[in-house]
Copies of this chain bind each other. A is one copy, B any other.
Amino acid sequence: MSEDRRLMVLRAIVQDYVQTSEPVGSKALVERHHLGVSAATVRNDMALLEEEGLIHAPHTSAGRVPTDAGYRVFVDRLSAVKPLGQGERRAIGQFLQGAVDLDDVVDRTVRLLASLTRQVAVVQYPSLTRSTVRHIELVPMGSSHLMIVLIVNTGRVEQRVVDTGRVLADATGEALVASIRSRINEVAAGVPFTVAATRLRRLVGEADEADRAALEAVVSALGDALVEEREERVVLAGQANLARAGADFPRSIGPILEALEEHVTLLRLLGQLGDDPELVSVRIGSENPVTGLQSTSLVSMGYGSGSERVASLGVLGPTRMDYPTTMASVRAVARYVSEILDENQAT
């Protein structure tokens, strides 16, 4: 018995099951795929595949269904990522080109992914931790308040309002603001967050008595913004696609929707990518540590400007999904988004 043929059978089972969503039997298999053997032979192979835990029969007399392990073998050894068509690629590029700012890029991306794959799309905002400060702007507001606007190299903008406890509207006040502005930009602009945070703290130590309080207020607010855990955000789209594929989920889709609202765990999931950031990562069913998502698969990939991977995006669907096509879409979108960020970076 050739191992090769057994794998061919597995591949055929996966393909048929993905297409029809019904357990596939030996007879149907030999009809639809031209394996050069009879149904009985296929049955023997199936028995072995079942022993290996790659397929499984829902009950004694139904066809076979791939197990999570079966999909794993399929993804790793039996399928090639099928490249997207020319037209499709161009459509992606054009759709994303129109974006006007970072929010818009993320928003468009997540919708694009959802409609492309007809599944739930997840896009993580570029993380701050690996980012650098581009510029910090101070805007006086009211008599003693200051709005701090932090501009990040990924195009993201954070803002905070602090009370400096000093009158800023007069000439001395304006001079103070200008001085603080230039001092903090001098040490922080163009520098990674972690470095910026320590340098800013040092700056406070060196300041003379008069400015100390105001500078301290600004720096502490900036420090908050720099370490802020809310920095990590995700955006979702295509939840409706879950309902469409409702039959694929043993229980209802409720637990899945719940899991999707736990952005924190979603982020952790997206963070755990495979070894090679250039590769699409696939987590299948029970490989997935999150309760509620164990009947789903997550296809994800990192993206970012330059060679730096600043965040991830992906697609979540039933384990019974068309892996090659989905992987192709995710990869293509991740690359386009990276390109867009690169361009923004350059400006």
B230 with A254: CB separation less than 8 A? no
- A254, B244: Cα distance in complex, Å: 6
Copies of the chain in the assembly: 2
B157 with A347: CB separation less than 8 A? no
A238 with B261: CB separation less than 8 A? yes
A141 with B149: CB separation less than 8 A? no
Interface of A: prevailing SS: mixed
- A246, B346: Cα distance in complex, Å: 49
Tell me which residues from 124 to 179 in chain A have a Cβ below 8 Å from any Cβ of chain B: 134-135, 137, 139, 141-142, 145, 147, 149, 151, 157-161, 163
A161 with B254: CB separation less than 8 A? no
Residue A243 at the chain B interface, CB threshold 8 Å: yes
Number of interface residues of A (CB under 8 A): 41
A253 with B243: CB separation less than 8 A? yes
Q: List residues of chain A with CB under 8 Å of any chain B CB.
A: 100-101, 104, 134-135, 137, 139, 141-142, 145, 147, 149, 151, 157-161, 163, 224, 228, 230, 237-240, 242-244, 246, 252-255, 257-258, 260-261, 344, 346-347
- A287, B160: Cα distance in complex, Å: 42
Q: Given A243-B252, A243-B254, 7 other A-B contacts at CB below 8 A?
A: A100-B230, A101-B158, A161-B344, A240-B257, A240-B260, A243-B257, A246-B254
- A347, B347: Cα distance in complex, Å: 34
